[in-house]
Amino acid sequence: MSLLSLPVATLGMPRIGPRRELKLALEGYWAGKISEQQLLEAAAGLRVANWARQNSLGVTIIPSNDFSLYDQILDTSVMVGAIPEAYGWESGPVSLKTYFTMARGSQDKEHDASCAHVHQGLGASAQEMTKWLDTNYHYMVPEFHKGQTFTLSSRKPIEEYDEAKALGYQTRPVLVGPVTFLKLGKAADPAFDPISLLDSLVPVYVEVLQELAKRGAEWVQLDEPYLVLDLDEATRTALQRAYGRLAEEVPGIKVMLATYFGAIGDNLAIALKLPVAGLHVDLVRSPQQLNQIEYGARADLVVSLGVIDGRNVWRSNLSALVERFKPVIAKFGKERVQLAPSCSLLHVPIDLELETELDSDVKRWLAFSVQKIQELATLAKALAGDGNVIVALSESDLAARARQASPKIHDTAVAQRTATIDEAMRRRNSAFATRAEVQRKRFGLPLFPTTTIGSFPQTSEIRNARAEHAKGKLTKAKYEQFLKEETASAVLWQEDIGLDVLVHGEFERNDMVQYFAEQLSGFAFTKHGWVQSYGSRYVRPPILFGDVSRPKPMTIEWWRYAQSLTRKPMKAMLTGPVTILTWSFVRDDIPRSETCRQIALAIRDEVADLEKAGATMIQIDEAALREGLPLRRSDWRSYLDWAVESFRLCSSGVADATQIHTHMCYSEFNAIIDAIAAMDADVISIETSRSKMELLDAFTAFKYPNDIGPGVYDIHSPRVPEASEIGDLIALARQRLSDSQLWINPDCGLKTRKWTEVRPALVNMVAAARELRKTS
Ligand code: GLN
Ligand code: ZN
């Protein structure tokens, strides 16, 4: 490192490869097209490329063990031997086969992101998957039980350290910290707190750290993002015990304790007392925490300043950062600071330079991993007093100013419109009881009306046709004709089997967010901006860069066509504002709540147009409303307020007789049931089939008044439920809700299922409802 620079760290790099090389290798291996050896070589190639890239871009603290074939939490479970019996492992190194069975199940079946650990009669199922804190990255949930013991069962961190060292890189290995690892896990017995296993777990970490120290590692990075959450006393004690013991038993290695995704807040006193050599803090999500650290930190604590946003794609204003951090560096001293992104760069795309078709203005405002590292390197020099970075600083300045002033971002019509939002726009004309009466007369639906959530199977024919159309090989006319035929046959089939409320099937949609984002102003799309969602599944989130508006109707024609085929109600299908917001990279120059309001107005217009076109039922999906909840409970209220407000804003402009539906892909509503009720949808469908309807208790306790469709068919499994099983589930729902409130529907959309599964399952669902009507 030159004297005129500060240390630069990355905390972790995207592992998928700039051209999705990892996906290609993994899927080739799973399909038996390449050998284990070839897979491992491809993976090693990606690691080497990452180290070389970081080195050449000026990173001085290069991570190792940030790579993973599937997921770093799964790697940790394997490292410590936390492998459930079902996977047949007893001791010794864990084979790749066992590893991938834990990740994907032994049937190699497609794994849905929200899928849990239940696959009757289908071999070992995969471990459960859930979201990594408030990101869209999914990890494999570790499983713990009372009396569990741990042994070192994978030498991955050590091997990857050696591998880098052989190439001449002294790396800082990354491990998920023991406390976060235990807290991320689950136990079959809900009364059992995995944190009680800490004393058996820590010795494995001691062993790994000792090995690393022996081989020459000076630092390790232990990720403890749990430090930014609300912690109970047991967890706080656990932190002190774990880090006390590591310091005692492995004095030869320095620990960089990494926190991210928020403020350490009320856990700071504890964090600062831990015997670690360094603390990484997220100064993007929580700039103000630096003050407290300045005053509270030990004089020799190294502070890793997370100054560049690792969760979003915007270019930084480097001059502003230089000004902000100059006094900080002066205060701490150069030897006590490191510069870093706020968190691992896993959550942003790799290289902006690959985007050749992006609008050149928008491109100038962005930074992906590579560009973020360049920013850090520039900043490190500028803060150390190197005058050679003036050009880079002024470029960054100019870009920031251009973005601020760009007419592409600011739309006065949108500003004027949001300024006129008033209470009346967020309220239906009448209360639910009145609307329900009007709607009951209008629709004349039977008791226990049956419907589905929106999508029908996205078959390979449909995906192929879409790809051919995108490549220009299938004309628009032919593509649309094909989609119309698919829609028509789905509609007629629904009518045939006797569903009461029909859907058009969503065949024309690539994705429930992208489909809308592509038609709204204010969004840009990348060609290569992939981010890992889980395993070999990557997503390319839309980039929301400007004020959002709707140039023209988005769904009317498809709805009209579908409704023309039937006299039954054709439920129109929209994605809600919170979901569009949550699954996009969003602006950092205005509050999320403001962007959400803009999207809500655009959706409100679509709702109005649908109503005008004759739609009588409109569903607005808010699949991401609950996942958008902030990490700290104290922040929930304000989030829920604007999230609910946005939903009401987009859904309240209709007549009493128009029925608003919403759908959410989960059912744990205990803590937020009042917000769900405040959304005031006429009908809400939720996921309940796997919880034996127990999760409906929250609705019962709240005396939830509106209609509910608790899912009675688990769409995450290929299994076809019998009518009697569905009947049993409905019976359980009837113990909790009144008959007049109940709708009968699957847990979620059917796009990931096959028609051979969907057809008999829905026939059985209709049969179950009919059977019930006879006796009620
Ligand atoms: N209407 C969407 C569908 O049926 C809803 C999906 C979701 O909420 N995840 O696919
Ligand atoms: Zn769903």
Q: pLDDT per residue over 330-375, tens digit each?
A: 999 999 999 999 999 999 999 999 999 999 999 999 999 999 999 9
pLDDT at 578 over 80: yes
Question: CA–CA separation, 664 vs 512, rounded Å?
Answer: 13
pLDDT at 2 over 80: no
For a mutational test of ligand 1's pocket, the pick from 131, 136, 455, i.e. the residue with the most ligand atoms closer than 8 A to its C-beta, is: 455
pLDDT at 105: 87
What DSSP character marks residue 570?
A: B
Backbone angles phi, psi at 379, to 5 degrees: -60, -40
Pocket flag, ligand 1, residue 574 (CB < 6 Å): no
Pocket flag, ligand 1, residue 453 (CB < 6 Å): yes
> Are 620 and 253 within 8 A, CB to CB?
no
Question: What share of the chain has pLDDT > 90, as a percent?
Answer: 94
The per-residue pLDDT for range 20-68, each reduced to its tens digit, is 999 999 999 999 999 999 999 999 999 999 999 999 999 999 999 999 9
Instruction: Among the bound ligands, name the one nearest to the CA of residue 582.
Output: 1
Pocket flag, ligand 1, residue 509 (CB < 6 Å): no
Tell me the pLDDT of the chain averaged across its residues. 95
Ligand 1 atom closest to Cα of residue 665 = 8
Among the listed residues 119, 138, 280, 716, the single catalytic one is 716
- Alpha-carbon distance values, 529 to 26, 279, 595, 695 (Å): 19, 30, 22, 38
- Alpha-carbon distance values, 440 to 310, 488, 494, 566, 707 (Å): 50, 27, 22, 20, 12
Residues 30, 36, 41, 46, CA torsion sign: positive
Q: What is the ipTM of this complex?
A: 0.99
Name residue, tokens 């996977």: 87
Instruction: Among the bound ligands, name the one nearest to the CA of residue 747.
Output: 2
Q: Would you call 716 a catalytic residue per the annotation?
A: yes
Amino acid at 383: L
Question: CA–CA separation, 542 vs 548, rounded Å?
Answer: 13
Question: CA–CA separation, 50 vs 171, rounded Å?
Answer: 12
Indicate left, alpha or beta for 171 from its phi (over 0: left) and psi (-120 to 50: alpha).
beta
pLDDT at 107: 54
**Beta strands 521-524 and 543-549, pairing class:** antiparallel
The per-residue pLDDT for range 153-171, each reduced to its tens digit, is 999 999 999 999 999 999 9
CA of 114 to the centre of ligand 1 (A): 12
Average pLDDT over residues 717-734: 95
Ligand 1 atom closest to Cα of residue 622 = 8
- Model confidence, pTM: 0.95
For a mutational test of ligand 1's pocket, the pick from 458, 462, 501, 512, i.e. the residue with the most ligand atoms closer than 8 A to its C-beta, is: 512
What DSSP character marks residue 262?
A: S
Q: For ligand 1, atom 1, name the residue with the nearest CA.
A: 454
pLDDT at 544: 98
7-16, 99-108, 625-634, 637-646: least confident range: 99-108
Ligand 1 atom closest to Cα of residue 619 = 1
Pocket flag, ligand 1, residue 624 (CB < 6 Å): no
Average pLDDT over residues 559-573: 98
pLDDT at 112: 43
Average pLDDT over residues 127-154: 95
Give residues whose Cβ lies within 5 Å of ion ligand 2.
665, 748
70-74, 129-133, 633-637: least confident range: 129-133
pLDDT at 768 over 70: yes
Helix ranges (DSSP H) in 59-136: 72-79, 96-104
The per-residue pLDDT for range 469-515, each reduced to its tens digit, is 999 999 999 999 999 999 999 999 999 999 999 999 999 999 999 99
CA of 645 to the centre of ligand 2 (A): 21
Question: CA–CA separation, 363 vs 399, rounded Å?
Answer: 10
The per-residue pLDDT for range 269-323, each reduced to its tens digit, is 999 999 999 999 999 999 999 999 999 999 999 999 999 999 999 999 999 999 9
Q: Which H helix or E strand runs over 339?
A: strand 337-341
> Are 666 and 113 within 8 A, CB to CB?
no
CA atoms within 13 A on the CB side of 592: 20
The per-residue pLDDT for range 648-678, each reduced to its tens digit, is 999 999 999 999 999 998 878 999 999 999 9
pLDDT at 691: 85
Pocket flag, ligand 1, residue 751 (CB < 6 Å): yes
